Amino acid sequence: MIEIENLCKSFTLHNQNAAVIPVMAGANLAVARGECVGLIGASGAGKSTLMRMVWGNYLAASGSIYVGNVDVVTASPRQIIALRRDTLGYVSQFLRVVPRVPTLDVVAEPLLNLGVPADTARARAAELLARLNIPQRLWELSPTTFSGGEQQRVNIARGFAHPFPALLLDEPTASLDAANREVVLGLIEEAKARGAAILGIFHDEGARDRVCDRLIDVRAFTPKAAA
Amino acid sequence: MTDQAYNFAYLDEDTKRMIRRAILKGVAVPGYQVPFASREMPMPYGWGTGGVQVTAACLTPDDVLKVIDQGADDTTNAVSIRKFFVATAGVAVTEATADATIIQTRHRIPEAQLTAGQILVYQVPIPEPLRFLEPRETETRKMHELEEYGLMHVKLYEDIAKHGQIATSYAYPVRVEGRYVMDPSPIPKFDNPKLSGNAALQLFGAGREQRIYAVPPFTHVVSLDFDDHPFSPSKANHACDLCASNTSYLDEVITDDQGGRMFVCSDTDYCATRRAAGHVGALGTPQAAGKAAQ
Amino acid sequence: MTDLSHTFAAAADKPLLQVKSLTKRYGARIGCADISFDVYPGEVLGIVGESGSGKSTLLSCLAGHMRPDQGEVIFETATGPRDTVQMGEAERRRLARTDWAYVHQNPRDGLRMGVSAGGNVGERLMAIGARHYGGIRDKAIDWLGRVEIDAGRVDDRPSAFSGGMQQRLQIARNLVTAPRLVFMDEPTGGLDVSVQARLLDLLRGLVREMGLSAIIVTHDLAVVRLLADRLMVMKGGHVVEAGLTDQVLDDPQHEYTQLLVSSVLQV
């Protein structure tokens, strides 16, 4: 479902004497349906970078990233938008929301974007929020005032609202207590069971062991200093 | 009286020719405001200079002129303008609508039905119906050119929103031959229906604003309105106290300090004609010996 | 409400607006040079740049306020694609009243200050022939509600409104005829921060609900991040970078874009 081939990236900082920072070279990776692949490597090794490139948030210098049959590296912005709407989900580390939108609507948004009727979308959102132990009295409030853990759970709910065939999860269990971690791992297992391909970053070893089928160390893709 | 002779009807022949050209253009495009080179007249702007120039351009020595102001032949302005034309053109004058060939009017249409061959000249203060909503002349010209009249209905909408009904009671905007929106001059909306299908030629002159426009005989003129607030030509719910007419537009006259009042036909000739024919109103005396207190 | 997936599928392949080599000069100076891009239905395009970048010139040329020196602006009208630059004035003005909308930076430029709020919203309806007072008023009140202006203020003049309210009224006035393309020039400029947030949220909702396309010119990167699907960065009259909004802002390639992004103060 996700196939990465020979991916390379560098950053050119024009305003700092055009410093060129190569961050990735020759990355190869494949995630099959129903599989969860975990990225490991020290902080700054490129895990989030790789994930952002799959999401289309970072540009690649060369190589290919196939999500389904769309090559994200060469896709047009419109194709990527369509991909993000239908096929590829992303749960980032931080919840970025428009101010004033109620939590229920934040979570329902991916479904509303797909044209799902509002009641159905909100019902699904309610289901997820309940499962993630967000009290109902908070559903009509904007999540901008929630605690870090609560925000993360809202983020996760949003990511799992639509059954995406491919999912990117960046530290989904960080800042969660044991009970909620359990819920999230359950969600991931359900996603795998229905055939989703998942690429994830988990610092929590227990979580990693539980849901990841394979682990890939991104240090293998770090460009050699000499090159 | 003076030691110089006036050219016929005061204006020189070239000026009259220029005005006639503007009039012809106006007749060719009903309701369209034609710019003209308005002259300095011996009365200030705001006193009917536009109407006077149009009348002057139309007059021939055989014409019979009637001048009315708010329907009356004997107010100061009507008398002044009539005397002006007697002095400068030497034409015959009359108060009888039926006998006149040219009628210059300020803010009223005579009650008596006009006939083919008569010319009605209106005095116009502000010719542009959109002026108070859109102050830019460049923009209003575009609107007329491109037939963009949504704003005109905004004005009527505002009336209804504010007063519960279209409160515009005079200078009520009309659409001429389905094309140009026109300001019929500050005639009461009661008179609007007479604009349409009239046998006479109707000419409009605005001296200060330098515009002439026209409604040719038997032109279709419709007052603007909304489907759910149709146009109604209203007048006071009263009969004339002198001649008992129920169908003419009335002036309300305060007769004493206790608030006593009477309603009288605004059109003096119409009222006089009816009284001469034997009609008597509630406060009238049989055989109109003179006009009642005006 | 609307099943947007159909909208996307059916119309997705055809651009709503195609801009080709648009150029506008002011004498020897370049206003904007050789700009080309497409806008698809339901898409929001952000154009960012600092003062003098040419973004306002570009918007004016697109919206028909200024005539470009070169180039085409092809809009998919009901009767097929038409180059609006070549259109007659009557037709362009009609387009501007129906299929297009223009939200000015200063709401006073986009409103009639001497006309009531209801009259302002109703004007475009009356301009296309609406003649039922009750119907026009109902629609105006409905729209005031959608932009969160209390219905009780329908007869008040905009001169009595706050800046944020005036801007929301301007938006209602523009959207009442369900245009397909909205041009916005710094829609939140001059508004308080909290008011901006509310306005942006409203715009987002309306754009999504009505399936609008929008071209938003702004110097505020937060606005584009929130509203725009795609972004074009302009400098000196040229487009220096374009792409997905989050990609351009998170992984800027061009020197100027990097400077712009790094200059934003983090709150």
Report d(CA C225, CA C248) in Å as an integer.
10
Q: Which residues of C216-245 are buried (b: 16+ CB within 10 A; e: fewer)?
A: bbbbbbbbbbbbbbbbbbbbebbbbbbbbb
Strands C44-48 and C213-218, sheet pairing: parallel
Point out the residue among B153, B161, B226 whose CB comes nearest to the CB of C155. Answer: B161
Please determine, for residue A217, whether its predicted confidence score (pLDDT) is greater than 70.
Answer: yes
Q: Taken in order B65, B69, B70, B76, is the CA torsion positive or negative?
A: negative
Q: Could you tell me the two tokens for B65?
A: 């002129």
- Contact exists between A and B (3 or more beta carbon pairs < 8 Å): no
**Which of the four pLDDT bands, split at 50, 70 and 90, describes residue C198?**
confident
Contact A81 C229 (CB under 8 A): yes
**Which of the four pLDDT bands, split at 50, 70 and 90, describes residue A219?**
confident
Q: Could you tell me the two tokens for B236?
A: 């006071």
Q: What is the mean pLDDT of the segment spanning B67-96?
A: 96
Contact B146 C89 (CB under 8 A): yes
Chain Cα centroid distance, residue B60: 21
pLDDT score, position A227: 42
**pLDDT (tens digit per residue) in C125-163:** 998 889 999 999 999 999 999 999 999 999 999 999 999
Q: Taken in order A37, A43, A46, A48, is the CA torsion positive or negative?
A: positive
**pLDDT (tens digit per residue) in A123-179:** 999 999 999 999 999 999 989 888 888 899 999 999 999 999 999 999 888 888 889
Which residues pair with residue C241 across a beta bridge? C233
Q: Find out whether C103 and C187 touch, Cβ atoms under 8 Å.
A: yes
Torsion of CA B120, B125, B128, B132, to 10 degrees: -140
Q: Could you tell me the two tokens for A69?
A: 């049959």
Q: What is the pTM of this model?
A: 0.83
Written as one letter, the residue type at B21 is R
Q: For residue A73, what is the nearest residue in chain C, using CA coordinates?
A: C247
Give SS3 for A102: coil
Give SS3 for C179: coil
CA distances in angstroms from C222 to A12, B123, C15, listed in the order given = 24, 59, 26
Q: Find out whether C73 and C62 touch, Cβ atoms under 8 Å.
A: yes
Answer whether C141 touches B (CB < 8 Å).
no
Catalytic residue numbers of B read 31, 240, 243, 265, 271
Give SS3 for C74: strand
Q: Taken in order C150, C154, C160, C166, is the CA torsion positive or negative?
A: positive
Contact A77 C229 (CB under 8 A): yes
Strands B250-254 and B201-206, sheet pairing: unpaired
Neighbours of B215 (CB within 10 A): 27
Neighbours of C61 (CB within 10 A): 25
Chain Cα centroid distance, residue C182: 4
User: What is the 8-class DSSP label of residue C253?
Assistant: -
**Which of the four pLDDT bands, split at 50, 70 and 90, describes residue A221?**
confident
Report d(CA B141, CA A149) in Å as an integer.
64
Helix and strand counts by DSSP (H, E) for chain B = 7, 12
Q: Find out whether B103 and B77 touch, Cβ atoms under 8 Å.
A: no
Q: What is the mean pLDDT of chain B?
A: 93
Written as one letter, the residue type at C105 is Q
Q: Could you tell me the two tokens for A157?
A: 């709910």
Answer whether C206 touches B (CB < 8 Å).
no
* B226 contacts in chain C (CB < 8 Å): 131-133
Point out the residue among B146, B149, B158 whose CB comes nearest to the CB of C119. Answer: B158
First vs last C-alpha separation in chain B: 32
With a pLDDT cut of 70, the percent of chain A lying above it is 98
Cα radius of gyration rounded to whole Å, chain A? 18
Please determine, for residue C248, whether its predicted confidence score (pLDDT) is greater than 90.
Answer: yes
Please determine, for residue B26, whether its predicted confidence score (pLDDT) is greater than 90.
Answer: yes
Neighbours of C202 (CB within 10 A): 18
